[in-house]
Amino acid sequence: MSIQVAVNGYGTIGKRVADAVALQPDMELIGVGKTRPNHEAELAIENGYPLYAAIEDRIDLFDEAGLELAGTVEEMVEAADIVVDACPSGIGADNKSLYEAHDTPALYQGGEDADLVDVSFNARGNFDEATGADHVRVVSCNTTGLSRLLAPLQEEYGVEKARVTLVRRGGDPAQTGRGPINDILPNPVSLPSHHGPDVNTIFPDLAIDTLGLKVPATLMHTHSVNVTLESTPDADAVRELLDEQTRTFLIPEGAGIDGAGALKEFAMDRGRPRADIWENCIWSESVSVEGSDLYLFQAIHQESDVVPENVDAIRAVLGTADAAESIERTNGTMEIGF
């Protein structure tokens, strides 16, 4: 029988994870949890995803909006082999007792604290550690992007120290209340930003310092990366290594892609759903090595790079595939890779 997957929280991340799960031959999306009958609830119904009410007092609102409910989130959780919690930061922690009460293993997202869970997860970094765990956190968009980059560098060359400045988008396109709208904010002002310690939840021994800035942009994050390696490869060898990875896209020299706007246009032109870019986008020309210091720029699509990781985390927790099989299946069904 296929894995029965529930997605609780059908917003930016949840609706993408639901679509990805629905593509998997070894999984069945049994439903999505919603708090209110908005356009995303309508979309779930249009996609044929059973809709479950997260808040019992609001069931009438769904009836009034003409949206048929399949039941409550509690019933959905009871029926599921695993639940993907994609609720806003902090709400996942509130939901933990519900999942425990039904003995349903749960995946949480990067907005939750690392100490909420047994294991923080990145498919390329530590797939096997999630097997059999009850509570697993798929790390944030930025930590996912850094883990995918640092894993092969560590394996191939050894990492003496990574230093990364993260230029972060102020909010997602639909988050009209976020900012800044006319500023460049060191965020946080004090060092380090939370991203370095978060990378250490995947690679505990890796030396990394991170600094963060927030800027008036919504499309993607951009990382300015310096990694001091334990050996001295040339830039072409590093490019080749990064090109071999299945969730990194080396933006070809001469492609005319100068930033996040052009990357999103590129994704739209290639028919990507929601113009999503699941891969780290590394500018090939930026890959440079000075002695043992590697430098590069990469862009990360915050709304979508964690989606394949959630799919892999399902298989990792339930032990139904190893890392290589799962990543290949997820990549194949989602058509990851440009």
Would you tell me which residues interact with ligand NAD (CB under 6 A)?
8-14, 33, 35, 40, 54, 86-89, 91, 109-112, 140-141, 172, 302-303, 306
Q: Which residues contact 190 (CB under 8 A, 6 or more apart)?
A: none
Distances (CA, A) of 35 to 38, 215, 253: 9, 31, 46
Q: Is 12 annotated as a binding residue?
A: yes
Is there a contact between 195 and 122 (Cβ–Cβ < 8 Å)? Answer: no
- The distance between the two most distant Cα atoms of the chain, rounded to a whole number of Å, is 66
- In angstroms, the CA 66 to CA 35 distance is 15
Is 26 or 172 the residue whose CB approaches ligand NAD more closely?
A: 172
Q: Is 221 annotated as a binding residue?
A: no
Check if 281 is active-site. no
Q: Is 39 annotated as a binding residue?
A: no
Least Cβ distance, residue 222 to ligand NAD (angstroms):
14
What residue number has its CB nearest to ligand NAD?
11
Lookup: tokens for 161: 């120290």
Q: What is the dihedral of CA 120, 125, 127, 130, to 10 degrees?
A: -20
Is 141 or 318 the residue whose CB approaches ligand NAD more closely?
A: 141
Annotated catalytic residue, options 141, 206, 263, 314: 141
What is the sign of the dihedral through the CA atoms of 298, 110, 332 and 238? positive
In single-letter form, the type of residue at position 20 comes to: A
Is 174 or 324 the residue whose CB approaches ligand NAD more closely?
A: 174
Least Cβ distance, residue 37 to ligand NAD (angstroms):
11
Report the binding-site residues: 12-13, 111, 140-142, 169, 195-196, 302
Catalytic sites, residue numbers: 141
Report the binding-site residues for NAD(+): 12-13, 111, 169, 302
Report the binding-site residues for D-glyceraldehyde 3-phosphate: 140-142, 195-196
